[in-house]
Structure 1
């Protein structure tokens, strides 16, 4: 039985894409906050934790809900990106196409540069 190089590479790239765009705890917390905000914006009673979050921000729960809902849905954006890369991976015909997708996924995993301000000690 012959092993196809492109099929091995395809499986590896799909696994990398799934790893890079995996949902983490921050994503889950953000999604929950959006769900609570949607309920409050629809006239629902804010939960104690949502009311506490509004107090931290110094606004009403309704104002906090509007602020949260005005921001893009990052979890959906992240999932759409992951899914589009999986579809592209499965449709790729060459190793070069797969390498380009992998490079894109690897770039997404690169840590954001840290400001030098935070690296300095003292005033």
Structure 2
């Protein structure tokens, strides 16, 4: 999404939803409110989770949240994230990746100054 390939992302998510047979269903656990879940057609653990993730991605891509999906910009990291920052400036999947990149930049500046 962060590279502007919205159409391709939508195609891939549609394939995931078709493959898993994602279907919405309201579920309720004792003493909890009703919750919307997206189960897979065979309701196995892995298919159920995949269907739920595919449906969540579809909801994000089909809304104004699409620009909030990204891939970590740290070298050798391919993790994805949802940018929940106030001004949509997130670039890393975690504080650990951000810290490694900033520490490496600091060390590089320090060696060029010496």
Same fold per TM (> 0.5)? no
Does 1 or 2 have the higher relative contact order (CA < 8 Å, sep 6+)? 1
Larger-gyration structure (1/2): 1
- What TM-score, normalized to structure 1? 0.29
Q: Of Structure 1 and Structure 2, which has the larger fraction of its residues in helix?
A: 1
